[in-house]
Amino acid sequence: MINSPSSANPTSNVPVFSVGEISNALKITVEETFDRVRVRGEISGFKRAASGHLYFTLKDDIAVLDGICWKGTAARLGIKPEDGMEVIATGRLTTYGARSKYQMIVETMELAGEGALLKMLEERRKKLAAEGLFDEDRKQSIPYLPDVIGVITSPTGAVIRDILHRLDDRFGRHVLLWPVLVQGDTAAEQITKAINGFNALAEGGKTPRPDLIIVTRGGGSLEDLWAFNEEDVVRAAANSRIPLISAVGHETDTTLIDFASDRRAPTPTAAAEMAVPVRAELAALVMDDGARMANAMNRRLSEHRLHLQGAGRGLPNLTRLLGDSSQRLDDWSERLRNALGSGIARKRSLLAEIGGQLHKPDHLIRRGNDLLKSEIRALELSGRRLVKEKSSDLARLSGLLESYSYTHVLERGFALVRDDNNDPVMSAVQVSAGDQVAVTFRDGARQMMVTDGESGKLKAKPRKAKARPGNDNQGRLL
């Protein structure tokens, strides 16, 4: 405590403190007096900040105490705080001067008595049951004889030895052990990872994937078995794609994983008995079934033999039954031979008769040859006549075509005008001044340029003056 006042008061000897000074003084006093306390109360107003710190209040019928659990400590708590949970919190008291409040810094937390545990267990069971995790239609059938069995338990306890011994006695199988803690703060997390890990193994991988999972531990108190009541463990068991047997505790012990598993065993040894049949009993059963099958087959064959014999006695005599048919076959065979001989003779006689009526081919060939020559002569005569007629028509049409030719028009003094594309110019509007045209006369063609004359008359071309000898400006050399 600071004894020197921050300001003197001449009328009183009572020191004057600042707000910060009195807050620090109270903080030191509270922390020294209540350095470690255990407080029992009901959690209320629980929330987890984004930083990971936990904030809540502990209350009873008389008072309310604010509580804080820092992020690093929250990860090590053995339970997950929830509203309405009655707990015993261990920590130290301190003050928060910014709000003039005192509060408890919680370091550990445990449930307050078995009654609180049972209450929370029942509420969690109802919650998970409402989600359908315990429904019977979700449960899978246990394989009759699994090749690989995955066991999730402590590697040091007697449970794994009991399971292995029982499996060897009944029907030895390949066992994969996933070692976990079965109680304590991290037990639930390890069990959840083990269940999910077995399910994550690939078919045909280096590590064989179990056909069956057994989650087990020995007996204990409710607190010892609490890891198997955690929500994460129950959800992992319910969502397992591999059939799962739970064998937690003794026959009277019940945990939430028992409701979510595909089969509950009262003890770990009973789980091993559920997993595999007894080899000797199975062999005896196979032998018994084989003997029964052989007896049934022999009895069935005897019954069919008797039935066949009885049916055979009801049949007529085979020799007598086939006698008439054999005689009829002989009769038809003889008649067939006779009919074939007479039929062939008739056909041969008919063929000779028809052959005698046929003409010799030489006569037919000569007659065809004469007819062919006659047709050739007629064809030659008609061909020459047709050629003559067509030649006359061709000469007539050629004369007519010649009379229509434009060259006769050119002979009368006309000309043919073509443009640059060699197309005939039919009108004056098709050409303009300066266009080049080709003009064809009767005796040849010339290239000409179109002018813009409009009168239709050509100007007389000026005559060249003949050079006179006396007008030569250059003079004569000789």
pLDDT at 474: 44
Tell me what the mean pLDDT of segment 338-350 comes to: 84
- pLDDT per position as a tens digit, 81-128: 888 788 889 999 999 888 888 999 999 988 776 666 777 788 888 999
**pLDDT-above-70 percentage for the chain:** 90
Tell me what the mean pLDDT of segment 357-370 comes to: 79
Q: What is the domain partition of the chain in residue ranges? A: 19-112, 137-277
> In this structure, which topology does domain 137-277 adopt according to CATH?
Rossmann fold (3.40.50)
Give 11's pLDDT tier (boundaries 50, 70, 90): low
Task: From 78, 131, 140, 139, select the one nearest 109 (Cα to Cα).
Answer: 78
Query: Rounded to an integer, what distance in angstroms lies between the CA atom of residue 237 and that of residue 232?
Result: 9
Task: From 118, 105, 148, 297, select the one nearest 225 (Cα to Cα).
Answer: 118
pLDDT at 465 over 60: no
pLDDT at 201: 94
Residues 6+ apart with CB under 8 A from 187: 180, 181, 227
- pLDDT per position as a tens digit, 146-179: 999 999 999 988 899 999 999 998 998 999 999 9
Where is pLDDT greater, at 453 or 184? 184
Which letter, b or e, does each residue of 205-228 get, where b requires 16 or more Cβ atoms within 10 Å of its Cβ?
A: eeeebbbbbbbbbbeeeeebbbbb
> In this structure, which topology does domain 19-112 adopt according to CATH?
OB fold (Dihydrolipoamide Acetyltransferase, E2P) (2.40.50)
- pLDDT per position as a tens digit, 254-310: 899 999 999 999 999 999 999 999 888 888 888 888 889 999 999 999 999 888 888
Tell me what the mean pLDDT of segment 223-230 comes to: 88
**pLDDT-above-90 percentage for the chain:** 34
pLDDT at 466 over 90: no
Locate 206 and state its tokens. 């280096």
Q: State how far the alpha carbon of 380 is from the alpha carbons of 324, 368, 388, 434, in Å.
A: 81, 19, 12, 65
**Of the ranges 9-23, 331-345, 372-386, which is most confident?**
372-386
